[in-house]
Amino acid sequence: MNPAFSVILLTTLIGAGQGLFLALVTVQIYGVAGLLPPAQGVGLYVGGSAVTLVLLAAGLVSSFFHLGRPERAWRTATMWRTSWLSREVIVLPAFMGTVTLYGLLHLAGWSPVLMTSARGVSLDLSLAVGVVGTVLAFALFVCTAMIYACVRFLAEWHTPLTPLNYTLLGGASGFTLAAALAAQAEAQRVDFLAGWALVLTALAAAGRMASLVRNARLKPRSTIQSAIGVKHPRVVQRSMGFMGGSFNTREFFHGASPGWLRAVKPLFLVLAFAVPLVLLWLARAQAAEGVGALLAAAFAIQYLGLLAERWFFFAQARHPQNLYYQAVS
Amino acid sequence: MSRKQLALVIDLNVCVGCHACVTSCKEWNTSGAAGPMSDQNPFGSDPSGTFFNRVQTFEVGEFPHTETVHFPKSCLHCEDPPCVPVCPTGASYKREEDGIVLVDYDRCIGCKYCSWACPYGARELDADQKVMKKCTLCVDRIYDASLPEIDRKPACVKACPTSARLFGDIHDPQSEVSRAIREQGGYALMPEWGTHPANHYLPRRKTRLRIHEDELVRADNPLRVEGHLPKPASDAATFEDASF
């Protein structure tokens, strides 16, 4: 497939946004449960929600560049019964609304207690909104990934590893970003968030490498023999029927050299996983001085790596229609 | 299975690869209800354009035992079309009444998702209109009562000089297309995906003479045996009796 930068930006930006929001709610839940010292202020929640919103909005804007007719985008909400793309279009604004509400509740400091458990743990309104947002964040990961995983013709995507990796990669980048934000707004949460970012980055690396191993062993189900229905071991195309390009030759071929494709794989493994793991480790080991810069660098490098990862995700998928577009005579 | 399913049956044994169906399709549809089918830079060095139908050429076998197969390719109007459920707006749909898969250009947002979900590459995004386009089986023509009955067929079928393209209802067992599929080994493309294409292809067929060695040499050839055999007595069995 030919990777579209609008979709690469969409999936990586909203992934980081969802991960960041999950990090905020995680911090709040740990705080409510008494597992973390009480927060010094609402800066992390408010700032984090704002950054989440910016990421989601940027992703939404870039997604419009993938549409031929963006002015009709509102129609996409209609086919949620069958289409994962339609479901994503519904969940994304719902999630953005919930994040807005979550940020505003923290900003206003208005959070009435809804219920209190026997052990004194109280559920307040902002936490309830946070839990709703958490459900929506996971739903959005599933919707986004299933857009790709449900296309059975693209064997590289058609695996449960796709939703798993979208969730883990988004979670890893979001928690790294949360740690970087906490270094500015709530220093005592940095250790906690960087620790989770480490764990998620390691898990994401494992998941992505599992899918790389799986994809390397794939054998295309369709052959040129089944494509035209002629049983002979040697069938070659002599003409695709035209000499100029067409949609079929532009959309389904990435056009990059095999060398570049081979180079991108180690590149994204280093940028998205190896370097951030080292930087997160250093940030946890180091005293307060310079931690913010380290974590910001970790996020920036990881995000760059995820851009390369997503490019590779698209480029690696081989569409069976390409069998019909092999030769210009 | 009772519902009508219109489809094309393409005889690869007859197709000569002349591209008449391609140009006729383009001419009819670019000026018809499904049009325009825009071209970009048509007379320049890098032309591109929207087509519903392409004729491709494949070489089967190794020289000198090669065979050229011309292969017309358009939307197969699958009975279980994978491109339809993925559409987020419902612009892609399969007609209940005759099984034609169509795109509503006014609802299409040009997200290209349906083209990813078609293993045959049958859909093309129009670069000017920015909506997905595909073969309509000339739906604006086959039901047009103002045309003579004989012309109510897809433009590609009408154009084919060798009658390699048949059109009809593959759910009607007595139709020309059903009979052709049944009797001449009609097959579907990429059956491994379970899309159940309605369009079928008829295979290349060879007519071979099977000649046995003893058919080449006549055992009772009179020119060959006469000199070697003694002339039978007049009251003996005749030559033809004697040879067996």
Nearest beta carbon to residue A247 from set B107, B124, B201: B124
Nearest beta carbon to residue B89 from set A79, A84, A226: A79
- Residue B240's pLDDT band, with cuts at 50, 70 and 90, is low
Nearest beta carbon to residue A324 from set B59, B121, B188: B121
Q: Please indicate whether residue B2 or residue A240 has the higher confidence score (pLDDT).
A: A240
Is the model's pLDDT at B225 over the cut of 60? no
Q: State the pLDDT at residue A312.
A: 97
Residues carrying CATH 3.30.70.20, chain B: 6-202
Chain B residues whose beta carbon lies within 8 Å of the beta carbon of residue A153: 82, 116-119, 193
Q: State the pLDDT at residue B237.
A: 66
Q: Which domains does chain A have, with CATH numbers?
A: 5-213+221-324 (1.20.1630.10)
Whether A153 has its CB under 8 Å from any CB of chain B: the answer is yes
Chain B residues whose beta carbon lies within 8 Å of the beta carbon of residue A234: 60-62
In tens, the pLDDT along A66-121 reads 999 999 999 999 999 999 999 999 999 999 999 999 999 999 988 888 888 777 77
- The DSSP letter of residue A235 is E
- Residue B244's pLDDT band, with cuts at 50, 70 and 90, is very low
- Helix (H/G/I), strand (E/B), else coil: B244: coil
- Residue B34's pLDDT band, with cuts at 50, 70 and 90, is confident
Mean pLDDT score, B221-235: 63
> Which DSSP helix (H) or strand (E) runs through A2?
none
In tens, the pLDDT along B134-186 reads 999 999 999 999 999 999 999 999 999 999 999 999 999 999 999 999 999 99
Report the chain A residue with the minimal C-alpha distance to residue B90. A79
Extract the tokens encoding B244. 């067996």
Is the model's pLDDT at B67 over the cut of 70? yes
What is the overall mean pLDDT for chain B? Answer: 91
Whether A287 has its CB under 8 Å from any CB of chain B: the answer is no
Predicted ipTM?
0.92
- Residue B3's pLDDT band, with cuts at 50, 70 and 90, is confident
pLDDT-wise least confident of A121-135, A144-158, B11-25: A121-135
Mean pLDDT score, B19-37: 93
Residue B121: CB partners within 8 Å, gap ≥ 6? A248, A252, A319, A321, A322, A324, A325, B73, B115
What is the overall mean pLDDT for chain A? Answer: 94
Is the model's pLDDT at B53 over the cut of 60? yes
Q: Do B130 and A68 touch (CB under 8 A)?
A: yes
Q: Do A240 and B56 touch (CB under 8 A)?
A: yes
Report the C-alpha gap between A253 and B28 in whole angstroms: 30
Chain B residues whose beta carbon lies within 8 Å of the beta carbon of residue A222: 119, 190, 192-193
Is the model's pLDDT at B226 over the cut of 80? no
Q: Do B59 and A236 touch (CB under 8 A)?
A: yes
Residue A275: CB partners within 8 Å, gap ≥ 6? A298, A301, A302, A305
Chain A residues whose beta carbon lies within 8 Å of the beta carbon of residue B59: 235-238
Q: pTM value?
A: 0.91
From residue B26, how far is each of B31, B40, B57 by CA, in Å? Answer: 8, 14, 19
Q: How many Cβ atoms are within 10 Å of A158's Cβ, its own excluded?
A: 16
Q: Give CATH for domain B6-202.
A: 3.30.70.20
Q: State the pLDDT at residue A290.
A: 82
Nearest CA-CA distance, residue A254 and chain B, Å: 14
> 225-244 in A: which are within 8 Å (CB) of B?
226-230, 232, 234-244
Nearest beta carbon to residue A239 from set B57, B130, B187: B57
Is the model's pLDDT at A215 over the cut of 90? yes
Q: What percent of chain B has pLDDT over 90?
A: 80
- Residue A287's pLDDT band, with cuts at 50, 70 and 90, is low
In tens, the pLDDT along B185-223 reads 999 999 999 999 999 999 999 888 988 877 777 666 666
Is the model's pLDDT at A266 over the cut of 90? yes
Extract the tokens encoding A154. 């693209």
Q: State the pLDDT at residue B127.
A: 94
Long-range contacts at A253-258 (CB < 8 A, ≥ 24 apart)? A253/A2, A253/A322, A253/A325, A254/A1, A254/A2, A254/A3, A254/A314, A254/A315, A255/A2, A256/A315
Chain A residues whose beta carbon lies within 8 Å of the beta carbon of residue B192: 221-222, 226
Q: Do A230 and B204 touch (CB under 8 A)?
A: yes
Report the C-alpha gap between A321 and A227 in whole angstroms: 9
